[in-house]
């Protein structure tokens, strides 16, 4: 499907929820869905700061709702807020993901507590929020879940073992959800970005590493949040 055809998709009257949507891939995805007609709830920690961002797009329906990946009570409250206000949930984008390169290293040099905390955060948000969302999607007659994973969940690395294993788990739960709820017209897919030019990635990336990495990339550029948002839209 050509990009123009993606942009012409009409999501009018669809209700979407995107977690960690203040910046990077999350914000780009929220904006892309809203530009295509969806009512988009943005799961964020900083409501006022996000509202200031949203106010720059007065013609789009983008609504901040509280979400903190480390406060599990916020998951249910977030989904319930969307249902209370809109009566339905059609699209869920599980965008939250965390990794601290200085701590997330190889098997021997990564602290066990950090390893399991990373898995709990990256997999747990997808598991718990999807579990809350799916019954509402079934009630609607169907829906779509998109999990933002990583190529690191498929290709092993010399470091970031916690992140890689957690994203491998996200890839598997994506397939599990897709298989288990296909009969209910609930789809579940994952987007697996490679090196993406988000602020977080650039801030943690030495210039010599970036140049070395791009020497192996035919397009000779990093992916952009909008590239990933187009995949989410599709």
Please give the Cα distance from 150 to 164 (Å, whole number): 8
Ranges assigned E (strand) in the chain: 15-19, 39-44, 62-66, 91-94, 143-148, 186-191
3 state SS of 183: helix
* Two structure tokens written together for 107: 């098997």
Burial of 156 (0-12, 13-18, 19+ CB in 10 A): exposed
Please give the Cα distance from 209 to 200 (Å, whole number): 15
Which one of 41, 75, 127, 163 is the catalytic residue?
163
Contact 190, 170 (CB under 8 A): yes
* Two structure tokens written together for 77: 């409250």
Tell me whether residue 163 is one of the annotated catalytic residues: yes
Please give the Cα distance from 163 to 123 (Å, whole number): 10
Instruction: Write out the catalytic residue numbers.
Output: 163
């Amino acid at each position: 499907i050509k990009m123009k055809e993606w942009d012409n998709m009409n999501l009018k009257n669809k209700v979407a929820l995107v977690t960690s949507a203040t910046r990077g891939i999350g914000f780009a995805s929220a904006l892309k869905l809203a530009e295509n007609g969806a009512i988009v709830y943005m799961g964020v920690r900083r409501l006022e700061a996000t509202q200031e961002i949203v106010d720059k797009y007065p013609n789009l329906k983008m609504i901040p709702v509280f979400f903190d990946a480390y406060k599990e009570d916020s998951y249910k409250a977030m989904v319930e807020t969307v249902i209370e206000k809109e009566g339905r949930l059609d699209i869920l984008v599980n965008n939250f993901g965390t990794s601290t390169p200085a701590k997330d290293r190889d098997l021997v040099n990564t602290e066990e507590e950090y390893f399991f905390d990373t898995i709990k955060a990256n997999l747990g948000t997808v598991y718990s929020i999807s579990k809350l969302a799916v019954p509402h999607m079934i009630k609607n007659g169907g829906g779509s879940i998109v999990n933002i994973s990583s190529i690191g969940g498929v290709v092993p690395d010399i470091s970031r073992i916690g992140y890689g294993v957690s994203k491998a788990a996200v890839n598997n739960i994506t397939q599990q959800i897709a298989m288990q709820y296909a009969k209910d017209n609930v789809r579940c897919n994952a987007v697996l970005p490679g090196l993406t030019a988000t602020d977080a990635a650039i801030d943690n990336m030495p210039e010599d590493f970036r140049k070395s990495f791009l020497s192996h990339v035919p397009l000779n550029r990093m992916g952009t949040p909008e590239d990933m948002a187009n995949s989410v839209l599709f």
